[in-house]
Amino acid sequence: MAKERIKIKQPMKVRSILQKEINSICPFCDSTEVEYFEIHHIDEDPSNNEIENLLLICPTHHSKITKGDISKEIVERTKKSLPIKLQIEVASISIDHNNCSWVSYDDVKHAFYQRGNEPSPFPIICFSLINHSPKTILFTEIELKEQYRI
């Protein structure tokens, strides 16, 4: 009995995430013809469309996996060996210079300096982020690094 195939929600977004994950190169060869790449379900369950279960690969290697020439263990190991990429893109970072004493450098991206103590010496920073992950992401900590500019 064939397993039920469930369409991938937001297929272009998922494909884009998977393409970034493999850096637009088939993880089994050096093919870069991503327009022909296919999405493989690692656990072979076509209803499991979680990113962790999907791998974008060239048609040749997809066929080899399907025929059993490449084992499921090798496919799983290949997926796990891919570099983990943070799926959060920083769209912009700005400072609320009307309500704090910090201002942006004109020539340095995402850098700010304190111009005095009025109105507040505490920076009010506004982040605009894009979540490329299909999951909700919870920020538990944001690290700010201090660098001196001469």
pTM of structure: 0.57
Q: Which of 80, 4, 130, 21 has its CA nearest to residue 39?
A: 21
Residue 36 predicted with pLDDT over 80: yes
pLDDT band at residue 134, thresholds of 50, 70 and 90?
Answer: low
Q: Tell me, what's the pLDDT at 5?
A: 80
pLDDT digits (tens, 9 = 90+) for 16-28: 889 989 999 999 9
DSSP letter (8 states) at residue 121: S
Coil, strand or helix at 95: strand
Question: What is the residue-averaged pLDDT of the chain?
Answer: 85
Q: Which residue has the higher pLDDT, 92 or 40?
A: 40
Q: Omega into 119 within 30° of 0, i.e. cis? A: yes
d(CA 32, CA 17): 16
d(CA 99, CA 119): 6
Q: Tell me, what's the pLDDT at 1?
A: 59
Residue 61 predicted with pLDDT over 80: yes
Q: 56, 23 in Cβ contact below 8 A?
A: no
Residue 45: is it exposed, middle or buried by C-beta count within 10 angstroms (0-12/13-18/19+)? middle
Residue 149 predicted with pLDDT over 60: no
Domains of the chain, residue spans: 11-81, 86-150
pLDDT band at residue 84, thresholds of 50, 70 and 90?
Answer: low
